[in-house]
Structure 1
Amino acid sequence: MVKHPKPAWEHPIYTEEQINKVTVAHREAKTWSDYVALGMIRTLRTVMDLATGYKHDHAVSLGKKDPAAANQKYAMTERKYLIRNIFLESVAGVPGLVAGMLRHLHSMRRMKRDNGWIETLLEESYNERMHLLTFLKMASPGPFMRLMVLGAQGVFFNAMFISYLISPRTCHRFVGYLEEEAVLTYTREIADLDAGRLPQWEKMEAPQIAIDYWKMPEGKRTMRDLLLYIRADEAKHREVNHTLGNLDQKNDPNPYVSEYRDLTKPHPTKGIEYLQPTGWERKDII
Structure 2
Amino acid sequence: MSSRMAGSILLRHAGTRLFAAAAVSPAAAARPALLAGADGVPAVMVRLMSTSSSSPTAAAAATPQKAKEEAAKDGGDKKAVVINSYWGIEQTNKLMREDGTEWRWTCFRPWETYTADTSIDLTRHHEPKTMLDKIAYWTVKSLRFPTDVFFQRRYGCRAMMLETVAAVPGMVGGMLLHLRSLRRFEQSGGWIRALLEEAENERMHLMTFMEVAKPRWYERALVIAVQGVFFNAYFLGYLLSPKFAHRVVGYLEEEAIHSYTEYLKDLEAGKIDNVPAPAIAIDYWRLPANATLKDVVTVVRADEAHHRDVNHFASDIHCQGMQLKESPAPIGYH
Q: Which bracket does the TM-score occupy, shorter chain normalised?
A: 0.7 to 0.9
Query: CA offsets per residue over residues 239-285 of structure 1, 9 Å max, x none?
Result: 111111111235422331xxxxxxxxxxxx3359xxxxxxxxxxxxx
Match of residue 241, structure 1, among 306, 311, 324:
311
Task: Please identify runs of 4+ aligned residues in structure 1 that moved more than 4 A.
Answer: none
Residue 39 of structure 1 corresponds to 138
Unaligned runs of 5+ in 2: 1-101
Correspondence 1:148 to 2:250: no
Aligned residues with identical type, % of pairs: 43
2:120 and 2:305 in contact (8 A); partners too: no
Cα distance in 2 for partners of 1:11, 1:237 equals 17
1:20 and 1:228 in contact (8 A); partners too: no
Q: Which amino acid aligns with 2:332?
A: K
In terms of Rg, which structure is larger? Answer: 2
Report the number of matched residues.
228
Residue 188 of structure 1 corresponds to 262
Give the superposition deviation at 1:142.
1.1
Unaligned runs of 5+ in 1: 55-75, 257-268, 273-286
Cα distance in 2 for partners of 1:2, 1:250 equals 37
After superposition, the CA RMSD in angstroms is 2.0
Residue 216 of structure 1 corresponds to 287
Match of residue 168, structure 2, among 91, 94, 107:
94
SS in 2 for 1:34: helix
Q: TM-score normalised to the size of structure 1? A: 0.74
Match of residue 19, structure 1, among 83, 94, 118:
118
Give the superposition deviation at 1:112.
1.4
Residue 228 of structure 1 corresponds to 298
Which fold has the larger relative contact order, with Cα–Cα distance below 8 Å and residues 6 or more apart in sequence? 1
Query: CA offsets per residue over residues 51-105 of structure 1, 9 Å max, x none?
Result: 32x2xxxxxxxxxxxxxxxxxxxxx3xxx21111101111111100111111111
Cα distance in 1 for partners of 2:292, 2:103 equals 25
Query: CA offsets per residue over residues 189-221 of structure 1, 9 Å max, x none?
Result: 1112112222x22xx1111110110011244x1
Cα distance in 1 for partners of 2:244, 2:237 equals 8
Q: TM-score normalised to the size of structure 2? A: 0.64
Cα distance in 2 for partners of 1:44, 1:82 equals 18
Cα distance in 2 for partners of 1:110, 1:83 equals 42
Q: Which amino acid aligns with 1:27?
A: H
Cα distance in 2 for partners of 1:12, 1:253 equals 25
Correspondence 1:270 to 2:326: no
Cα distance in 2 for partners of 1:98, 1:233 equals 19
Q: Which amino acid aligns with 2:104?
A: K
